Structure 1
Amino acid sequence: MRIVTFNILGGRTQHDAEVDVAVLQRAIADLDPDVLALQEVDHLLQRSGHADLTALAAEAMGATDHRFVAALAGSPGATWTAATGDEQPGDAAYGIALLSRMPISGWQVIRLPAVPTQVPMRFPGRLLPTWVRDEPRVAVSATVETPDGPITVTTTHLSFIHWWNGRQLGRLTRSLAGAQRPLVLTGDLNMGLARAARVSGLTPLAEHATFPADRPREQLDHVLADPPLAARSTARRMALSDHRALLVDLDLRQATSRRRPAPRRTPAG
């Protein structure tokens, strides 16, 4: 079973703002995923030609089930607003997506807390820090019915603010405490491998630098699991995005023999 996580930069290339949906579809087909986790996904936005990038990716990989989940609704700039989950299929939005060639028997959307105030950020070439506001963050989780039994796959795109994304990851893993195991958590976590493993308590299945795409220096994109799973992995530079795609081939047959149900929650008090 191949799981791929890929921050697609809204379908753009690393060095220009053009979106060529044919390039996106060729990239997805070349990755050949069974389950595909996407971040920075445009949905009917003008800057990406009003395309439904999730639907195009689904067509390219032959996905039978897929879901786009908005983090922001509206168009870039003044009309951006935090998504609530009440958006309609025809609304312009930006967020994450999860797609599968295998049947999905259940979905869960988890909205994560955003930094409540603006924070100072330093950018190359600027002497003074710039005050910025982080965007809302969200996760989507699916129960994938594989030939070797059900597996939970989750994806998210966490804050770039170092002291906040750890809180978001902790909140997310606590929300998944009752999820069917094996659990695989994917996405652009905006943190390194050691910290992602420590904060989540999950086992990394891939160790490859993924950012920036042309000369990657750090791993921001991850595939983590509970319990540990047998896997082979690689990071691949594609014809779009400033991230490399992270591919993990899982051997779920070993997991079948030691499959366990979701952990029981102990009542407080």
Structure 2
Amino acid sequence: MARTLAPMRVATVNLASGRDVTGESLSAPELAAAVAELGADVVSVQEVDVGQPRSYGVDQPLAVAEGLGATDWRFAATVAGTPEPDSVRSWTPVDPVGLRGPGDEVLGPRYGVALFSRVPVRRWHVLGLTAGRAKLPLRAPDPGTGQVRTWWFPDEPRIAVAAELDGLTVVGTHLSFAPHTATRQLHRIRTWCSGLPGPVLVAGDLNLVGPLPAFVTGGDRLVHGPTFPAAEPRLQLDHLLSLGGLTGTDTDVRWLEVGDHRAVSAAVTSSAC
């Protein structure tokens, strides 16, 4: 007989390296305050900086953990060094050989995703996802000067982090900006999740619009509503995706004081409740 899952609030938000709507990077206390209003038990966060000049060297996982009151978390770097345009690139892909958690050493500038929990985590899991070959024209701050201009960014490796909880596994991820690559990566995650304790919830910026993630995986989209761009959202790129056996109530799509996507959250419970 399947265990009944008590309602647990799960959220996802793209930090955009801790920038506000004006493009200014927030300080650690400002970042902590911006995410605190989520009030979620488990939060998947994308585009997280550690020691980057563009975000004033803030250790963003620590700041977010403080704001959320998260007792356990893991940061998964996808690149090391400072992301720059391809012609003068100084970052290198990171193999997913480990996860950084509370108390672990900071090993220079990093960029990636993180998963935070206020409830006990039984085990952590990680899956590396290869990058596509596409490049993205993106207006973003110059890593050296902080001035916003258009960059041509190559796709970076992607990663999925799973927190195995009591009665639920939450997977946090940020998929490629190229839809065909994101679709391939989501297929890999779906296969990987079949080996994790269910039910499984995928939370993150999947870079696939509206109903597509559910169509690709055969899962259920728990929150409906546009999330990007934050100021005037037209597309839903940020999802809470049940891979079976879960429902979402008290759903919320919220514009925080940080990030260029709206945050998505829901009270998640087992379908049998």
TM-score for both structures, normalised by structure 2: 0.83
- Residue 123 of structure 1, CA deviation: 7.9
**Matched residue, 1:210:** 227
User: One-letter code of the match for 1:11?
Assistant: G
Q: How many residues align?
A: 244
Indicate if the aligned counterparts of 1:11 and 1:21 stay in contact, CA closer than 8 A: no
Indicate if the aligned counterparts of 1:158 and 1:190 stay in contact, CA closer than 8 A: yes
Q: Give distance in 2, aligned partners of 1:123 and 1:99.
A: 28
5+ residue gaps, structure 1, are 125-129, 258-269
- Residue 50 of structure 1, CA deviation: 1.5
Indicate if the aligned counterparts of 1:23 and 1:240 stay in contact, CA closer than 8 A: no
**Matched residue, 2:90:** 79
Task: Please state whether the residue corresponding to 1:31 is helix, strand or coil.
Answer: coil
C-alpha distance 12-103 of structure 1, shift in aligned 2 (>3 A) = same
Matched, 1:138 2:159: yes
Q: In structure 2, which of residues 195, 198, 207 is the aligned counterpart of residue 178 of structure 1?
A: 195
Following superposition of structure 1 onto structure 2, how do residues 93-108 of structure 1 map, counting pairs within 5 Å? Answer: 93-108=110-125
Matched, 1:251 2:272: no
- Residue 76 of structure 1, CA deviation: 2.1
Q: Give distance in 2, aligned partners of 1:251 and 1:85.
A: 30
Residue deviations 1:34-71 (CA, integer Å, cap 9, x gap): 00100000012122122211111111121111000001
Q: Give distance in 2, aligned partners of 1:31 and 1:122.
A: 30
Q: Give distance in 2, aligned partners of 1:42 and 1:229.
A: 32
Indicate if the aligned counterparts of 1:203 and 1:228 stay in contact, CA closer than 8 A: no
Q: Give distance in 2, aligned partners of 1:132 and 1:23.
A: 27
C-alpha distance 59-132 of structure 1, shift in aligned 2 (>3 A) = closer
Following superposition of structure 1 onto structure 2, how do residues 201-240 of structure 1 map, counting pairs within 5 Å? Answer: 201-232=218-249, 233-240=251-258
Q: In structure 2, which of residues 183, 186, 198 is the aligned counterpart of residue 166 of structure 1?
A: 183
Bigger radius of gyration: 1
Matched, 1:2 2:14: no
Residue deviations 1:48-99 (CA, integer Å, cap 9, x gap): 1222111111111211110000011111222211012358633210000001
**Matched residue, 1:241:** 259
**Matched residue, 1:39:** 46
- Residue 172 of structure 1, CA deviation: 1.2
Task: Please state whether the residue corresponding to 2:186 is helix, strand or coil.
Answer: helix
Q: Give distance in 1, aligned partners of 2:18 and 2:136.
A: 26
**Matched residue, 1:17:** 24
Q: Give distance in 1, aligned partners of 2:266 and 2:253.
A: 9
User: One-letter code of the match for 2:196?
Assistant: A
Indicate if the aligned counterparts of 1:12 and 1:20 stay in contact, CA closer than 8 A: no
- Residue 24 of structure 1, CA deviation: 1.6
**Matched residue, 2:101:** none
Q: Give distance in 2, aligned partners of 1:132 and 1:11.
A: 18
Residue deviations 1:112-137 (CA, integer Å, cap 9, x gap): 1211x3x366789xxxxx97521111
Q: Give distance in 1, aligned partners of 2:25 and 2:118.
A: 29
5+ residue gaps, structure 2, are 1-7, 99-104, 140-150
**Matched residue, 2:205:** 188
**Matched residue, 1:262:** none
Tell me which stretches of 4 or more aligned residues in structure 1 moved more than 2 Å. 17-23, 85-91, 119-124, 130-133
Task: Please state whether the residue corresponding to 1:242 is helix, strand or coil.
Answer: coil
Task: Please state whether the residue corresponding to 1:69 is helix, strand or coil.
Answer: strand
Indicate if the aligned counterparts of 2:19 and 2:25 stay in contact, CA closer than 8 A: yes
RMSD: 2.1
Report sequence identity in percent. 37
Q: Give distance in 1, aligned partners of 2:128 and 2:49.
A: 18
